[in-house]
Amino acid sequence: MKWVTTNGCEVYQTSGGRSNSYLIFDKGVSFLVDTSIKKSRKTLMGKLNKFLGEKELSYLILTHAHYDHFENVNIIKEKYRPKIVIQSSEGEILRQGNSLIPKGTNILTRIIAGVGRKLNRLSSYEKIFPDILVDDYYFLSPNCYLIHTPGHTKGSMSLIVDGEIALVGDAMFGVFSWSIFPPFADDVPTMIQSWEKLLKTGCKVFLPGHGTSNSRKILKKQLERHGLN
């Protein structure tokens, strides 16, 4: 899949299935948003080889510190030398090699999260050392910036490309046509506020970490349904 904005920013999907990742070009600056899981490594590295070749990657952005988004970070860092970027409240989770399971948002996922939290103590991941810690906003290139969109996790953030396309991590899901509600989120009211924030960016397309793209129309509908006021 490929998207192009008015000012010529290009967005390519570089992995799908379990977790999405995206490669973005804004003039000479390149960003990879998330890295998916180990099982997707071959596909992801193949795409990076196709689009970057021998060139370096400017930034590797992690929307949040969950293992299904960060498992291929170190191999990419080694090969393409990007600066690793994450929101400041999740930097320590990466450095420790943790991946905390958020709360479930329905009966089934609450049970899964409860069991998962117990098992979580047994799992550990490769330690990752971020280069840039972001607070509320971070301008990366002429047409791209990061915004803090907490709720799924405390430090979740989104990349806004040319005011048209938002790469939102797990702030929304794209698995069902009728709902963008993630099955897991630490703080639902804060996540809904982040949806409002994302709507205000003016973006028309919202690319999630799981599933396919969400339109502005469904985001508005879901805000009406789950909105705070």
Question: Of 58-66, 107-115, 194-202, 221-229, which part binds Zn ion (CB under 5 A)?
Answer: 58-66
CB 80, CB 52: distance < 8 Å:
yes
Task: State in angstroms the smallest separation of the CB of 68 from Zn ion.
Answer: 7
Residue/partner pairs of 216-223 with CB below 8 Å, 24 or more apart: 218/177, 218/180, 219/172, 219/180, 219/195, 222/179, 222/180, 222/181, 222/195, 223/192, 223/195, 223/196, 223/199
Task: Using CB under 5 A, count the residues that bind Zn ion.
Answer: 2
Task: State in angstroms the smallest separation of the CB of 170 from Zn ion.
Answer: 4
71 lines the binding site for Zn ion (CB under 5 A): no
Among 76, 170, 192, 222, binds Zn ion (CB under 5 A): 170
47 lines the binding site for Zn ion (CB under 5 A): no
Report how far residue 171's alpha carbon sits from residue 156's, in angstroms, rounded to the nearest whole number: 7
Question: Of 48-56, 90-98, 168-176, 197-205, which part binds Zn ion (CB under 5 A)?
Answer: 168-176
Question: Of 30-38, 64-72, 76-84, 132-140, which part binds Zn ion (CB under 5 A)?
Answer: 64-72
Task: State in angstroms the smallest separation of the CB of 77 from Zn ion.
Answer: 21
Question: Of 45-53, 121-129, 164-172, 219-227, which part binds Zn ion (CB under 5 A)?
Answer: 164-172
66 lines the binding site for Zn ion (CB under 5 A): yes
Binding mask 112-151 for Zn ion (x = CB under 5 A): ----------------------------------------
Question: Of 44-52, 92-100, 121-129, 165-173, which part binds Zn ion (CB under 5 A)?
Answer: 165-173
Task: State in angstroms the smallest separation of the CB of 64 from Zn ion.
Answer: 6
Q: Which is nearer to Zn ion, 58 or 156 (CB)?
A: 156
Positions in the binding site for Zn ion (CB under 5 A): 66, 170
